């Protein structure tokens, strides 16, 4: 089974707190009728701080779409290599071992994709497959995991690098006064994340099944209006209620795999906002603390779009409580309304076993002696 290894995540050095966000919102949008509601919603996000690529004074100025996209290119090229190097090291491979790069981002546009620059500058082979994903928004992190799983299923010895570069602060629009736009100004943060999916070997989540689901007729609920000033985020007030129809989809994914979604060992869920996490835990019948890694990402970094699931997964690794054979689910949600989901078990690489990882636990060890003999041969 393909193994999703420990992600690497970095956030920029410039920090904005909840208190600063409220102060700037009151100053920049003073007198706007939607402001009082937006301030209450921002306070209820639970986001204590976020990290952004520019000082807040520069972020509040809008230099134009062209300049912002130039900044996106500069910052992505500056920040991605270090994160990628760490992700490769976490997986125990080097750039030359990578067979495909999936690059996800919804906050800037480059053509050719940043994948071409990475291949030319970081030692990846010239025949590395390039798979850029630009229009799935926050769901793209889950989609990247699913497509890496698919690739490694088709090519069992392949390695896929996932890179997420989300510089959400470059999409700030000071003249937008809608509640959805104002809320996003206090919710989204910047981050770069990367992880490797190994076709064989490695320690992490052994990906066993993935799925996608689109809620019919909701494509306008989360969207960008692309104008001369750049990307204008649009959020429908019905979005927080989407976990009710999506919970049965997650339940069915687990059920098709023979699992009870309410009885898994770990949950890596997109932290779109507190209502998303609270509702999903309720509709799945899962204790709120099961989503602790997603809550921590939301509190410390805000909604970092496609990088959320990788940051939450990093926290699972660092908590160091999960045991071999533990079952779990990964889910990202975004425009569409789209859900990108995967289920798998925790796998631990056994030294000396060539080209694969071992998945076993106390509960199945007794009837797995034959497989154990193979592992230790």
* 159 CB neighbour count, 10 Å cutoff: 28
Q: Is residue 364 part of a domain?
A: no
pLDDT tops 60 at residue 365? no
Q: Is residue 358 part of a domain?
A: no
Tokens of 315: 């926290």
DSSP strand pairing (222-227 vs 49-52): unpaired
Q: Which of 200, 228, 249 is the last residue of a domain?
A: 200
The domain total for the chain is 2
Which residues participate in catalysis according to the annotation? 138
User: Are residue 137 and residue 173 in the same domain, yes or no?
Assistant: yes
State residue 174's pLDDT score: 84
State residue 28's pLDDT score: 81
User: Are residue 156 and residue 223 in the same domain, yes or no?
Assistant: no
User: pLDDT tens digits for 168-215?
Assistant: 999 998 888 777 778 888 889 999 999 999 999 999 999 999 999 999
User: Are residue 121 and residue 237 in the same domain, yes or no?
Assistant: no
User: Are residue 223 and residue 311 in the same domain, yes or no?
Assistant: yes
Q: Calculate mean pLDDT across residues 303-318.
A: 97
Nearest to 335 by CA among 189, 172, 223, 237: 223
State residue 359's pLDDT score: 42
Distance between start and end Cα atoms, the chain: 19
Tokens of 33: 């009728």
Q: Which of 200, 216, 247 is the last residue of a domain?
A: 200
DSSP structure string for 1-21: --EE---EEE--SEEEEHHHH
pLDDT tops 50 at residue 356? no
User: Are residue 292 and residue 153 in the same domain, yes or no?
Assistant: no
Domain of residue 7 covers 3-200
DSSP structure string for 69-123: HHHHHHHHHHHHHHHHHHHHHHHT--GGG--EEEEE-SS---SS-HHHHHHHHH-
What CATH number does residue 307 fall under? 3.40.47.10
pLDDT tops 50 at residue 357? no
* 354 CB neighbour count, 10 Å cutoff: 7
User: pLDDT tens digits for 76-114?
Assistant: 999 999 999 999 999 999 999 999 999 999 999 999 999
Burial class (CB in 10 A: 0-12, 13-18, 19+), 258: exposed
Contact 7, 311 (CB under 8 A): yes
State residue 37's pLDDT score: 87
Q: Calculate mean pLDDT across residues 328-348.
A: 96
Residue partners of 342: CB distance under 8 A and separation at least 6: 142, 145, 146, 149, 205, 207, 209, 210, 211, 329, 330, 331
Q: Is residue 341 part of a domain?
A: yes
User: Are residue 234 and residue 143 in the same domain, yes or no?
Assistant: no
Nearest to 101 by CA among 158, 61, 35: 158
Query: Under DSSP, is residue 311 helix (H, G, I), strand (E, B) or coil?
Result: helix
Nearest to 118 by CA among 94, 141, 101, 104: 101
Tokens of 203: 């320690």
User: Are residue 75 and residue 144 in the same domain, yes or no?
Assistant: yes
pLDDT tops 80 at residue 237? yes
User: Are residue 93 and residue 211 in the same domain, yes or no?
Assistant: no
Integer angstrom CA distances of residue 166 from 60, 75, 137, 209: 18, 10, 9, 26
User: Are residue 17 and residue 149 in the same domain, yes or no?
Assistant: yes
State residue 362's pLDDT score: 36
Cis bond upstream, residue 337 (ω within 30)? yes
User: Are residue 195 and residue 231 in the same domain, yes or no?
Assistant: no
User: Are residue 30 and residue 164 in the same domain, yes or no?
Assistant: yes
């Amino acid at each position: 089974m393909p193994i999703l290894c420990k992600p690497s995540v970095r956030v920029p050095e410039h920090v904005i707190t909840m208190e600063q966000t409220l102060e700037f919102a009151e100053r920049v949008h003073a007198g706007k009728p939607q402001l009082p509601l937006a301030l209450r919603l921002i306070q209820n996000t639970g986001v204590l701080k976020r990290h952004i690529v520019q000082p807040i004074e520069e972020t509040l100025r809008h230099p134009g779409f062209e300049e912002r996209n130039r900044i996106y290119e500069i910052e992505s090229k500056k920040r991605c290599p270090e994160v990628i190097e760490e992700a490769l090291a976490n997986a125990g491979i080097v750039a030359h071992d990578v067979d495909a790069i999936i690059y996800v981002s919804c906050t800037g546009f480059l053509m050719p994709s940043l994948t071409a620059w990475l291949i030319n500058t970081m030692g990846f082979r010239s025949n590395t497959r390039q798979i850029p994903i630009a229009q799935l928004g926050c769901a793209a992190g889950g989609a990247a995991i699913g497509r890496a799983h698919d690739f490694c299923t088709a090519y069992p010895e392949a390695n896929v690098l996932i890179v997420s570069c989300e510089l959400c602060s470059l999409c700030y629009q000071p003249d937008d006064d809608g509640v959805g736009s104002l809320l996003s100004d206090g919710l989204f943060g910047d981050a770069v994340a990367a992880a490797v999916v190994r076709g064989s070997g490695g320690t992490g989540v052994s990906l066993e099944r993935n799925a996608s689901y689109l809620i019919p007729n909701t494509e306008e609920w989360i969207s960008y209006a692309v104008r001369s000033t750049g990307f204008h985020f649009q959020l429908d007030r019905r979005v927080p209620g989407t976990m009710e129809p999506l919970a049965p989809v997650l339940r069915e994914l687990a059920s098709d795999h023979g699992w009870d979604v309410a009885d898994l060992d770990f949950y890596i869920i997109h932290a779109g906002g507190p209502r998303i996490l609270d509702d999903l835990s309720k509709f799945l019948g899962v204790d709120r603390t099961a989503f602790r890694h997603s809550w921590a990402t939301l509190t410390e970094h805000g909604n970092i779009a496609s990088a959320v699931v990788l940051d939450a997964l990093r926290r699972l690794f660092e908590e160091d409580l999960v045991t071999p054979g533990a079952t779990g689910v990964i889910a990202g949600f975004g425009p569409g309304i789209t859900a990108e989901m995967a289920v798998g078990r925790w796998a631990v690489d056994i030294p000396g076993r060539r080209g694969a990882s071992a998945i076993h636990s106390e509960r199945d060890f007794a009837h797995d002696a034959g497989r154990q003999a193979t592992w230790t041969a």
